[in-house]
Amino acid sequence: MKTELSIEQSFHLIELGVDPKLASKCLLYFCDVYDEPLASWDRYEENGKVFCATEEAYGRSVESRIVSMDADFDQSAKEENPIFDLSDILNILPKEIYCNPLRIETTKEGWYVGYVEYGLTNCDDTVVHEIKGEKSSTELIDALYSLLKWCLEIGYMTDYHKVKIRCPECGSIEDAKVEHTFPFWTFIHFCGNCGYVIMESEWEEVEPKTEEK
C-alpha cells in the first residue's frame, strides 16, 4: 500500500497553496561517505541518477530515502524536499464541504472518495446521493490527492469559490461567488445582464462549456 506522495505530487500541492510545513516526511539524499544528508549543491544528476558532487566523494552514487521530519538531521536539508503522507492528506482535506461530509469507500476495483450530498429526490420520489468531486484510484492516497487538488483548484479551501450559474430571470450564464460564511455558505448574486437578485433557492450551477478541438 502506498503511504506517501511522490516528490512531484507533493510539490504540486505546494504550488496550489498547501503549506509545506504540514508535510510530516521529507526526501533526503545520502552518500555512504557521510553521516549527514547531502545538500542540493553537494549532488548532481546524470542520466536520471544522482551522484555526490563533493571533492572527497565526487561521482559516488547517492541513495534517496524518505524520512520523518522529526529525524535528527539538519533542518534546512529536511525542508528542501517535503513529502506528504496519507495522514497529512487526511488532515489537510476538509472534513465536509457545505455540510456534505467526506466519504471514503473501497471496492474490489479500488478506492472512491468525494463529498456526499444527501437528500436529493428523483421524480419518482426515490432518494439519491450525489458525490461531489468524486475521485478514484487503486491507491487510497492517490484518490485523496486528486480530491485535494480538486478542492484547491475549485477554491473550497479559501473564503469563497467561483461557479457559473444561470439567471432564472433572463437565462444569462453568470460568474458568481459562493462565500464560505459560518455556519452556512452564502449564495447571492446580482445578474450582470438584467440586475435580478439570484438567491440560494434559485441557484442553478452550470458546467462551463469546453471548446471542441
Spell out the per-residue pLDDT of the chain, length 213, in tens: 899 999 999 999 999 999 999 999 999 999 988 888 888 888 998 888 899 999 889 989 898 889 898 888 877 778 889 999 999 999 999 998 877 889 999 999 999 999 988 765 555 555 557 788 899 999 999 999 999 999 998 888 877 888 899 999 999 999 998 888 877 889 999 999 999 999 999 999 997 654 443
The string of DSSP codes covering the chain is ---B--HHHHHHHHHTT--GGG--EEEEEE-TT-SSPPPGGGEEEETTEEEE-SSTTTT-B-EEEEEETTSSS-HHHHHHSEE-BHHHHHHHS-SEETTEEEEEEE-SS-EEEEEEEEEEE-TTS-EEEEEEEEEEESSHHHHHHHHHHHHHHHTTTSSEEEEEEE-TTT--EEEEEEE--SSS-EEEEE-TTT--EEEGGG--B-PPP----
Same-domain status, 137 and 167? no
Q: Is residue 6 part of a domain?
A: no
Overall number of domains in the chain? 3
Q: Is residue 2 part of a domain?
A: no
Same-domain status, 170 and 146? no
Q: Is residue 32 part of a domain?
A: yes
Same-domain status, 150 and 97? yes
Same-domain status, 75 and 32? yes
Q: What's the pLDDT score for residue 208?
A: 65
Same-domain status, 150 and 188? no
Q: Is residue 4 part of a domain?
A: no
The parent domain of residue 169 ranges over: 160-202
